[in-house]
């Protein structure tokens, strides 16, 4: 069975003693996916650790009851964004407004809520919203036409507010309280929500469904909420079918579904940050990772459609790139196919004192003039060029290309790199069928260092 607990706080200490058993029990109960939302920097890091350890997903944010101190706000915000660079941290949440606890003044809560909304829009991350005694105010601040999925976690708005939320396309999170006897109004609201906009969640360790009230909640109990949703939505299909529908909805809500899957614009590798601008390439190298994988180390790098310029630029703008040794334009395709964009992005990074490197197949001489290529090279601090062969015949065998005379174009690019005096490194791949001693000899003749990977 496929099942998704879309909101489950496994980071809380309630699970310290038996986390592995809790995760195993949820799998046995048919919960194949779990997302762990967070409340501050510390819990966001812990959620990311758990997600990576157990192949789950996590979200990072400041909960309205756990906002940072004004004196450390900038530093904390930067640390929180760093967590969003983790490979299984795929959403921003939970943020929102809580006028029930009122731990912080409404103005401060609204400031941080709006900040999270703006960040989600800049990065293209789904947004998980908490509202307690603030359902109307939350809707006031959320965009009417959200550019990213909005998930109203543990929603308890009345019918009028629910109708507004539904008309804007928000997802409605349903959990244990829908099973409580006194909550007839909530059940009526849930029965009115279009099936495609419903998500199931446990909010563990809180809000256990009947008959487990008073005990610690856990994701294995998702099924009890699914059963209630099934009943409220007509009850004609099997539990498995309802669970599958809710799973699919959640995959869409968190942009994990093949139809709207979000690819990572940036990803961490070693002490560098890599920028992924395209999934297109003129070559079909025999060793290319794209032949077998969709990404690297849990990052999804394959775009359904290449990202708009603004998404790449705003991603670089938002993230604390200064924390990395360098920014590498590499990705899951050939970055020079978007030369204007990478020049702009590199300039933005260098203006912040960050070194930039271009990793390229060197074939842009097939569609750019020498002057433009020199301008491109001048936009980076260093360049790494995939040499991969010792001559045209070998290159055509290992790196078949749609570019005519690709080897000649590559040689031309290498000569231009030499002329531009940019720090240059050539690369080749071991076990690719290339004659490495001859490739090494060629690199020597070209008077450039070679890295054999
Ligand atoms: S040039 Fe790079 S991205 Fe293109 S096919 Fe070869 S290895 Fe893959």
Residue with tokens 């756990």: 66
Q: Are 274 and 29 in contact (CB under 8 A)?
A: no
Pairing relationship of beta strands 89-98 and 57-60 according to DSSP bridges: parallel
Tell how far the Cα of 296 is from the centroid of ligand 1, in angstroms.
14
In this predicted structure, what is the pLDDT of residue 235? Answer: 84
Tell how far the Cα of 399 is from the centroid of ligand 1, in angstroms.
8
Residue 261 lies in a domain: no
* 432 close to ligand 1 (CB < 6 Angstrom): no
Tell how far the Cα of 289 is from the centroid of ligand 1, in angstroms.
8
* 285 close to ligand 1 (CB < 6 Angstrom): yes
Pair (239, 276) in one structural domain: no
Q: What's the rounded mean pLDDT across residues 434-439?
A: 97
Q: Are 389 and 398 in contact (CB under 8 A)?
A: yes
DSSP string, 241-306: HHHHHHHHHHHHHTT-STTTPPPPSEEEETTEEEE---S--SB--TT-GGGT-SEETTEE---SSP
Residue 429 lies in a domain: yes
Read off the CATH number of the domain in which 357 is found: 3.20.20.70
Pair (248, 383) in one structural domain: no
Residue 63 lies in a domain: yes
Tell how far the Cα of 256 is from the centroid of ligand 1, in angstroms.
25
Phi, psi for 32 (deg, rounded to 5)? -85, -20
* 97 close to ligand 1 (CB < 6 Angstrom): no
Residue 157 lies in a domain: yes
* 386 close to ligand 1 (CB < 6 Angstrom): yes
Q: Which atom of ligand 1 is nearest to the CA of 287?
A: 7
Pair (186, 83) in one structural domain: yes
Q: Which atom of ligand 1 is nearest to the CA of 399?
A: 6
Pair (367, 429) in one structural domain: yes
Pair (271, 181) in one structural domain: no
Domain limits for position 380: 266-452
* 284 close to ligand 1 (CB < 6 Angstrom): yes
Structural domains in the chain (count): 2
Task: Say yes or no to pLDDT of 331 above 90.
Answer: no
Segment 67-84, tens digit of pLDDT: 999 999 999 999 999 999
Segment 232-252, tens digit of pLDDT: 999 889 999 999 999 999 999
Segment 351-388, tens digit of pLDDT: 999 999 999 999 999 999 999 999 999 999 999 999 99
Pair (415, 306) in one structural domain: yes
**Residue/partner pairs of 440-447 with CB below 8 Å, 24 or more apart:** 441/390, 442/387, 442/390, 442/391, 443/387, 446/414, 446/418, 447/418
Last residue of a domain, one of 229, 253, 277: 253
Pair (273, 361) in one structural domain: yes
Pair (184, 272) in one structural domain: no
- Between CA 281 and CA 361 the distance in angstroms is 9
């Amino acid at each position: 069975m496929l099942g998704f607990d879309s909101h489950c706080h496994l980071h809380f200490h309630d699970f310290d003693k038996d986390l592995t058993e809790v995760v195993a029990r949820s799998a046995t109960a048919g919960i194949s996916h779990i997302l762990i939302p967070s409340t501050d920097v510390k819990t966001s890091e812990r959620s990311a650790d758990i997600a990576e350890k157990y192949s789950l997903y996590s979200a990072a944010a400041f909960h309205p009851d756990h906002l940072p101190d004004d004196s450390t706000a900038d530093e904390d915000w930067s640390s929180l964004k760093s967590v969003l660079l983790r490979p299984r941290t795929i959403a921003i949440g939970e943020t929102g407004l809580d006028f029930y606890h009122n731990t912080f003044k409404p103005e401060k809560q609204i400031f941080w809520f709006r900040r999270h909304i703006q960040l989600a829009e800049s990065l293209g991350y789904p947004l998980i919203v908490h509202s307690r005694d603030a359902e109307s105010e939350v809707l006031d601040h959320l965009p009417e036409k959200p550019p990213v999925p909005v998930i109203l976690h543990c929603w308890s708005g009345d019918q009028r507010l629910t109708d507004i939320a539904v008309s804007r396309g928000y997802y409605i999170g349903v959990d244990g309280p829908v099973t409580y006897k006194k909550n007839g109004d909530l059940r009526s609201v849930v029965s009115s929500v279009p099936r495609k906009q419903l998500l199931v969640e446990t909010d563990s360790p809180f809000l256990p469904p009947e008959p487990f009230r008073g005990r610690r909640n856990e994701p294995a109990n998702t099924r009890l909420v699914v059963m209630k949703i099934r009943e409220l939505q007509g009850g004609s299909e099997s539990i498995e079918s309802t669970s599958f529908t809710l799973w699919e909805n959640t995959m869409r809500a968190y942009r994990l579904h093949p139809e709207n899957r979000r690819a990572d614009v940036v990803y961490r590798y070693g002490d560098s940050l890599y920028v992924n601008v395209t999934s297109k390439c003129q070559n079909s190298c025999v060793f290319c990772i794209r032949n077998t994988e969709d990404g690297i180390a849990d990052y999804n790098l394959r775009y359904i459609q290449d990202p708009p310029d603004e998404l790449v630029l705003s991603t670089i703008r938002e993230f604390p790139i200064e924390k990395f040794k360098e920014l590498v334009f590499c990705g899951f395709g050939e970055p020079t196919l978007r030369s204007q964009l990478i020049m702009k992005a590199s300039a933005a990074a260098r203006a912040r004192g960050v070194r930039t490197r271009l990793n390229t197949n060197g074939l842009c001489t097939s569609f750019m003039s020498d002057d433009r290529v020199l301008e491109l090279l001048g936009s980076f601090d260093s360049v790494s060029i995939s040499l991969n062969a010792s001559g045209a015949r070998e290159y055509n065998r290992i790196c078949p290309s749609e570019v005519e005379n690709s080897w000649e174009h590559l040689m031309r690019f290498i000569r231009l790199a030499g002329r531009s005096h940019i720090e240059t490194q050539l690369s080749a791949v071991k076990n690719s069928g290339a004659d490495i001693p001859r490739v090494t000899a060629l690199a020597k003749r070209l008077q450039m260092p070679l890295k054999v990977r």
